[in-house]
Amino acid sequence: MKTILVAGGAGYIGSHMVVLLSRRGYDVIVADNLQTGHRQAVRGARQLYVGDLRDTAFLDRVFSENRIDGVINFAACSLVGESVKDPLKYYGNNVSGAISLLSAMRTHGVKNIVFSSTAATYGEPEKQPIEERDRTEPTNPYGATKLAIENMLKWCDRAYGIHYVALRYFNAAGSDPEAGIGEDHNPETHLIPLVMKTALGQRDHIGIFGDHYPTADGTCIRDYIHVQDLTLAHLSALEYLEKGGSSDVFNLGSGTGYSVSEIIETARRVTGREIKAVVEPPRPGDPSVLIASNQKAKMVLEWQPSRGLEQIISDAWAWHSGHPNGYEE
């Protein structure tokens, strides 16, 4: 049985990754500082180590006490707006944490890592859908730190033989109703959870930032992917590395995307609630369309998403309606 370390495994996507790995017969350990993660979200891991990746003694203990075969790294600060206001926090946490993690991998001879990156590495896209070979010019420190880690991984591959897959994606959504885990951020900034909170009456309305974009219904189009499809992609990347695949970068996305109005209408249908929407002024710099091409992931990783918007909203509603206050810590 292979042992996988999931860094950030108490967070939203990380906790879903832990569940999938344990279902597939992996021995899973989690390292998380619980800054934004939740202890109750960790289901199926053999052990949760609570500590900071930047603490080298902590990481050495994690690696010394376990024979780790591979690492999946979700650990990061991830609020775009906050990153602009406090870039040093993001470089300090995201990049320094990755340096410590890679150093521990090098010391303990662990050769495979799947890195949870972001489509924010691209910045303002030149074209749609975005492809992996398109230019990378992040427009915020969050995206810049993820790109810095991708570049570091490339050099670590050359120098130390640490093989990696970096996965770039936009918006994860949905939940795993069977496992009883879901999305619980504070503050919450993502559209679908905010729509769910509006449906629950926890918010008066959901804001639509502009309705005059050059799209079919005038609202922005974004790429959403079900969190369970996302974790399957990380598993495919891990298996690809285990089979000797070479280091690479892949986009993950629906390939089509959904508009803000589509999401609200689908949520009204799924929840049976009114969900008041108010058109507000557009946010400066908001592109009308952001979609990631998933062709390369389809070809190389043999992965493609199978859950559409209806399922994303339905599973998100199952979580939020059943856990209106999240994990209630």
CATH number, domain of 244, equals 3.40.50.720
Which among 71, 75, 28 has a CA at the least distance from the CA of 51? 75
Q: Residue 124's pLDDT band (boundaries 50, 70, 90)?
A: confident
Q: Would the pLDDT of 285 be above 80?
A: no
Count Cβ atoms within 10 A of the Cβ of residue 253 and give its class: 0-12 exposed, 13-18 middle, 19 or more buried: buried
| 179, part of any domain | no
- 237 plus 96 within the same structural domain: yes
**pLDDT digit string, tens, across residues 181-201:** 999 998 898 999 999 999 999
Q: Residue 236's pLDDT band (boundaries 50, 70, 90)?
A: very high
Query: What are the residue ranges of helices labelled H in the chain?
Result: 12-23, 56-65, 80-85, 87-90, 96-108, 141-160, 191-199, 227-242, 260-271, 295-296, 309-322
Q: Would the pLDDT of 171 be above 80?
A: yes
Q: Residue 284's pLDDT band (boundaries 50, 70, 90)?
A: confident
- 145 plus 234 within the same structural domain: yes
Q: Which of 49, 90, 122, 142 is catalytic?
A: 142
- 232 plus 307 within the same structural domain: no
Tokens 């670590």 correspond to 156
For residue 95, give its domain range: 3-173+224-251
- 198 plus 94 within the same structural domain: no
Q: Would the pLDDT of 160 be above 60?
A: yes
pLDDT at 145: 98
Q: Would the pLDDT of 121 be above 90?
A: yes
Q: What is the DSSP letter of 245?
A: P
- Catalytic site residue 142? yes
- 196 plus 286 within the same structural domain: yes
Structure tokens at 244: 């000797």
Q: Do the beta carbons of residue 77 and residue 93 sit within 8 Å?
A: yes
| 181, part of any domain | no
Mean pLDDT of the chain: 96
What SS3 state is found at 221? strand
Q: Do the beta carbons of residue 259 and residue 220 sit within 8 Å?
A: yes
DSSP one-letter string for 183-216: ---SS---HHHHHHHHHTTSSS-EEEE-S-SSSS
From the DSSP assignment, how many helices (H) and strands (E) are in the chain? 11, 14
Lowest-confidence pick of 6-10, 24-28, 132-136, 283-287: 283-287
Final residue in a domain of this structure, among 251, 270, 291 = 251
CATH number, domain of 195, equals 3.90.25.10
Cα–Cα distance measured from residue 204 to residue 206, given in angstroms and rounded to the nearest whole number: 7
- 239 plus 280 within the same structural domain: no
pLDDT at 287: 83
List Cβ neighbours of 32 (8 Å cut-off, separation of 6 or more): 7, 8, 9, 10, 11, 14, 42, 48, 49, 50, 75
Which among 258, 262, 254, 259 has a CA at the least distance from the CA of 292? 254
**Average of pLDDT values for 231-250?**
98
- 64 plus 113 within the same structural domain: yes
- Structural domains of the chain, count: 2
- 122 plus 203 within the same structural domain: no
Q: Would the pLDDT of 329 be above 60?
A: no
| 219, part of any domain | yes
